[in-house]
Amino acid sequence: MNQVVSNLVLDEEPIVKIEGVTKSFGSVYAVDDINLQIYRGEFFSLLGGSGCGKTTLLRMLAGFEAPTQGRIYIDGKDITDVPPYRRPINMMFQSYALFPHMTVEDNIAFGLKQEGMPAEGIKERVDEMLELVQVTQFKQRKPHQLSGGQRQRVALARALAKHPRILLLDEPLGALDKKLREKTQFELVNIQQSLGITFIVVTHDQEEAMTMSNRVALMRDGRIEQIDTPRMIYEFPRSRYAASFFGSINLFSGTVTDQLDDAVNVYSEEAGAALQVTHSHPLAIGTDVTIAVRPEKLRLIPEVIDGPNMLQGVIAEIAYLGDMSTYHIDLPTGKRIQFTQSNSQPLAEQPFDWGQMVTLTWQPHAATVLTE
Amino acid sequence: MKRSPFLISAMILGYAFLYGPIVSLIVYSFNDSRLVTVWSGFSTKWYGELLHNEQILSAAWLSIEIAAVSATIATILGTLTALVLVRFKQSRMRIALDTVVAAPLVMPEVIIGLSLLLLFISIEQLIGWPAGRGQTTITIAHSTFAMAYITVVVRSRLAHMDQSLEEAAMDLGAHPLKVFFLITMPIIAPSLMAGWLLAFTLSMDDLIVASFVSGPGSTTLPMVVYSSVRLGVSPEINALATIMVGIVGLSVVIAGRVLYKQQRSSLAKEI
Amino acid sequence: MMQRFENANWGKTLVAAVPWLWLGLFFILPFLFVLKISLAEPQLAQPPYQDLIREVSDGVVTLVLNFGNYQLLLEDSLYINALLSSIKVAAISTGFAILIGYPMAYGIARAPTHWRLPLLMLIILPFWTSFLIRVYAWIGILKGNGLLNQALMGLGVIDAPLEILYTPTAVYIGIVYSYLPFIVLPLYATLVRLDESLLEAAADLGCPPIRQFLLVTLPLSLPGLIAGAMLVFIPVMGEFVVPDLLGGPDSLMIGKLMWSEFFSNKDWPLASSLAAILLMVLVVPFALLRHMERKHEEMDQ
């Protein structure tokens, strides 16, 4: 499972180690035997639909829920039984949870006062935080006098004020509108990198997770489906669920016909063709597999040539999205596939039309074999 | 919204029914005649008589003392109970507490009074405290039934409060006791105030329980009023009633204006 | 999701222990004493009852349990009549309170939003002035030369004064007057939650207003109605002040009886057994009230 993680050193001790953690409520398993390691300085996302257990896992890290089974380690120390007010972790809440009866300044200073920091130190740190998230001019206001975006920044400043080793963020961008969300995504990553703090984010938005994270853990029904960098999980998903979770994908079910050195040949009735995919593990002939190809990995060629991965079909739908277009193509077998291409040609030279017959292909290493 | 004439007249009649007697009390407190309901001229002499009535004045003072202390005790107990009912895990203990604390709300006062008196006597026989009935026993009794009301008031506010505020405070390093005093209490403060006032009123107003558990020398205001009105109408009581209505009315007006001003000033600061 | 203080156990125990101890000592324990004294024999002494434990010698404890009080209650028609009369008064008062209180609650719930709070406050305000004094006000209104008779005779509606004071009618008036907020508030809470679009849907399907009320509003307001009714019925069963001041010597209710047995006759054991019986009778409506309140809580979530 060791993947290359861009600017991290993976041979260090993980800063967070989750070992066999389960949380059950009666017969319902919100979190089911999770094992996870997160490394210092990572921007790590827990991604999944509602009910997948990501929020429960986050709350167990913060200390608001106790695991039914398993242990949690921070920097090697077992903190499973440590109450939230004694953990070196701070959290930014989904609802921001700003104290309504305190000013912005007092909100940010709260954690520092609990630590027993002397007054001048507090003032310095608070000013530093106000600057960091750019809310200095609002420091005397109360939360109800701020806009949603401003409240979010105060919540972030408050959570960072104590310079925690780990910051947990529960759906941090959920309440923001699209433009603000994009801007804030970059700000968050910048802040995280400049402070060197480990961020663990819970989100249901896959674009968000992919944009900001070093690694993403996709969760489903209390378990981890796949952990990988955004690129790997997108290009090489390891299950149908993971494949369909991120963007669109073409899935062909088929059977292994032969095993080559670094690839497998698969015959797919759905596709009505022989397919070849790069694959490192051996697979027995006759195994049922699914081949996954992303729509943007398909290439248009003028006519069929000899070899695997040749599909011919008729354009049934065109979805024009401005910067790119998605084409739905019906194969003779009845299967519909998706093909995406950027609209780099000016309008006058529009390449395709409905009903047009096209030939598509892809490189063997542009697809993945899924066995589940 | 359809405004049905039936509904409006029913409401007007209802409010007239509620306030009619109060208005009559006030009007006739200024009646010159001792026969309260036979008007014989305007006079404020009954107010003068009232203010010189030692019995009523000392009873009023005792009642205020008892009310203030029992309201405070009841607020503390009621808040603790509300915390258990709202913030603790689902358990049989919680359900049991919920039922027990709901009982004083509807229990007939004669039963509360009688049972507490028997308790006090029996405990006195055992350990010598409380030595005779009086201010202490009345205060204990009032605290007990008032806490049930306060539990209702505080509980509802607590349940609607955003719990992530308390979690955020804990996350930032405050242990639960601090969280309660720094975060929870300021936020539920209005309902604590309302509860305290409610308990104060209930205590000032209680006749039956006080009659059972009081002793020589501890006569409360309701007890004095009761013995006067048993014998028929008494204009000094009208004067007393008017003063009470006046105090309550004034407090409500002041509270209303303070709240209004608060709202105005915070709106002004908003972007 | 419910907050769980899973890591602060001793603090939790303390917070729960304090109210339990207080209620246990000053609410539950007294009832046990009521039961105990109800089985005692009266005596002319201070306190006016004999101890149940007569003798302790040679490891033998002699208890005397006197069931005579309960026997008396069941045999003497006075007490049975008092119980039945109390039930009757409580039931009728509750009925009248609903008749007056329901339209008021409904009116407030349907009023424009910024009127609702002031209207509710107007209902609660009288509650903050002395209950005793307000009942006393009715004496001045209902008596022979009281305000009501003066007004009616002045208007020429009647020739001779109506005798209302010291009759059951006066008791009903007094009780409904005092307990009105207890019906209005829970009913209001339920009615204000009522989705108007349900009534619009009924109208759309051909239902005239009266049937809308009977078939939609009334059934949906039932939990609040029953809760409010119990909040009136249960305390009124033991009501003392109103029957005493407005009902005159003939009005018979358990509350009055308990009071006179206790203060006039100094028969504490008998008063205790009355209390015990009343408690047992009230268990049923109390259970009903709790059931309705729990339903209400569920709807809240």
Measured CA to CA, the distance from residue C238 to residue C170 in angstroms comes to 17
| C12 lies in some domain | no
> What pLDDT sits at residue A95?
92
Cβ-defined contact of A81 to C7 (cutoff 8 Å): yes
B18: amino acid identity, one letter? L
Q: How confident is the model at residue A279 (pLDDT cuts 50, 70, 90)?
A: confident
Query: Are A232 and A293 in a shared domain?
Result: no
User: Given CB atoms, is B164 within the 8 Å cutoff of chain A?
Assistant: yes
- Residue A349 above 80 pLDDT? no
> What pLDDT sits at residue A13?
85
Q: How many CA atoms lie within 13 A of C12 on its CB side?
A: 15
Query: Are A217 and A288 in a shared domain?
Result: no
Of all residues in chain C, the percent with pLDDT exceeding 70 is 96
Identify the CA nearest to A308 among candidates A281, A338, A348, A278: A278
> What pLDDT sits at residue A199?
96
- Residue A64 above 50 pLDDT? yes
Nearest residue on chain C to B227, judged by CA atoms? C245
Q: Which residues are CB-neighbours of C289 under 8 A, at least 6 positions away? A: B102, B106, C226, C227, C230, C231, C234
Residues 89-108 of A with CB under 8 A from B: 89-91, 93-95, 97, 99-101
A chain contacts of residue B90, beta-carbon cutoff 8 Å: none
Identify the CA nearest to C234 among candidates C171, C175, C185: C175
Contact A210, A130 (CB under 8 A): no
Q: B102 lies in which domain range?
A: 57-222
Alpha-carbon distance B210 to nearest alpha carbon in chain A (angstroms): 40
Angle at A75 between CA A73 and CA A79, to 5 degrees: 35
CATH number at residue C113: 1.10.3720.10
Selected residue with higher pLDDT from B50 and A168: A168
Q: pLDDT digits over B58-69, tens only?
A: 999 999 999 999
| C125 lies in some domain | yes
Selected residue with higher pLDDT from B268 and A321: A321
Q: How confident is the model at residue B271 (pLDDT cuts 50, 70, 90)?
A: very low
Measured CA to CA, the distance from residue B189 to residue B210 in angstroms comes to 29
Q: How is the beta sheet containing A215-220 ordered, strand by strand?
A: A89-92, A166-170, A198-203, A43-47, A215-220, A223-228
| C11 lies in some domain | no
Q: A296 lies in which domain range?
A: 248-370
CATH number at residue A173: 3.40.50.300
- Residue B3 above 60 pLDDT? yes
Query: Are A101 and A222 in a shared domain?
Result: yes
Query: Are A104 and A239 in a shared domain?
Result: yes
Selected residue with higher pLDDT from C207 and A64: A64
User: Given CB atoms, is C4 within the 8 Å cutoff of chain A?
Assistant: yes
Question: Which of A93-107, A335-349, C33-47 has the highest mean predicted lDDT (pLDDT)?
Answer: A93-107
Beta bridge partners of A226: A218
**Which helix or strand (DSSP H or E) is residue B217 part of?**
none
Domain count, chain B: 1
Q: Which two tokens stand for residue A320?
A: 């024009």
CATH number at residue A305: 2.40.50.140
Q: Which residues are CB-neighbours of C220 under 8 A, at least 6 positions away? A: C190, C194, C198
Q: How many CA atoms lie within 13 A of B235 on its CB side?
A: 22
| A10 lies in some domain | no
User: Given CB atoms, is A248 within the 8 Å cutoff of chain B?
Assistant: no
Of all residues in chain B, the percent with pLDDT exceeding 90 is 52
Strands A69-74 and A77-78: antiparallel
Domain count, chain C: 1
Q: Which two tokens stand for residue B113?
A: 């009074």
Q: How confident is the model at residue C3 (pLDDT cuts 50, 70, 90)?
A: very low
| C38 lies in some domain | no
Beta bridge partners of B186: none
SS3 annotation, A184-233: HHHHHHHHHHHHCCEEEEEECCHHHHHHHCCEEEEEECCEEEEEECHHHH
C244: amino acid identity, one letter? D
Q: pLDDT digits over A207-240, tens only?
A: 999 999 999 999 999 999 999 999 999 988 989 9
Q: In this predicted structure, which of A58-67, A286-295, B226-235 has the lowest mean pLDDT?
A: B226-235
> What pLDDT sits at residue B258?
81
Q: How confident is the model at residue B216 (pLDDT cuts 50, 70, 90)?
A: confident
Peptide bond into C223 cis (omega under 30): no
Identify the CA nearest to C100 among candidates B16, B1, B107: B16
Provide the Cα torsion A343, A346, A347, A350; round to 10°: -70
C159: amino acid identity, one letter? D
| A164 lies in some domain | yes
Residues 163-182 of A with CB under 8 A from B: none
Quick check: helix, strand or coil at residue C232? Answer: helix
Selected residue with higher pLDDT from B178 and C212: B178
At C167, phi and psi to the nearest 5? -125, 165
C67: amino acid identity, one letter? F
> What average pLDDT does chain C have?
86
Query: Are A51 and A197 in a shared domain?
Result: yes
Measured CA to CA, the distance from residue A203 to residue A49 in angstroms comes to 8
Q: Which two tokens stand for residue A35?
A: 């094992």
For the segment B246-259, the average pLDDT, to the nearest whole number, is: 84
Sign of the dihedral through C-alpha B200, B201, B203, B204:
positive
| A127 lies in some domain | yes
Q: How confident is the model at residue A122 (pLDDT cuts 50, 70, 90)?
A: very high
Q: How confident is the model at residue B2 (pLDDT cuts 50, 70, 90)?
A: low
C chain contacts of residue B143, beta-carbon cutoff 8 Å: 22, 26
- Residue C10 above 80 pLDDT? no
- Residue A1 above 50 pLDDT? no
| B256 lies in some domain | no
CATH number at residue B123: 1.10.3720.10
Contact C79, C257 (CB under 8 A): yes
Query: Which of A195, A215, A243 lies at the terminal end of a domain, its last residue?
Result: A243
> What pLDDT sits at residue B36?
65
* Helical pair B54-87 and B185-205, crossing angle rounded to 10 deg: 140
Q: How confident is the model at residue C8 (pLDDT cuts 50, 70, 90)?
A: low
For the segment A87-109, the average pLDDT, to the nearest whole number, is: 95
Query: Are A141 and A224 in a shared domain?
Result: yes
pTM of the model: 0.85
Contact B86, B158 (CB under 8 A): yes
Q: What is the ipTM of this complex?
A: 0.86
Quick check: helix, strand or coil at residue C137? Answer: helix
Query: Are A165 and A273 in a shared domain?
Result: no
**Which helix or strand (DSSP H or E) is residue A291 part of?**
strand A288-293
> What pLDDT sits at residue A4?
37
Query: Are A83 and A168 in a shared domain?
Result: yes
| B103 lies in some domain | yes
Query: Which of A200, A215, A243 lies at the terminal end of a domain, its last residue?
Result: A243
B chain contacts of residue A137, beta-carbon cutoff 8 Å: none
> What pLDDT sits at residue A10?
57
Q: C273 lies in which domain range?
A: 67-300
Peptide bond into B216 cis (omega under 30): no
Cβ-defined contact of C7 to A63 (cutoff 8 Å): yes
> What pLDDT sits at residue A6?
47
> What average pLDDT does chain A have?
90
Q: What is the DSSP letter of C205?
A: T
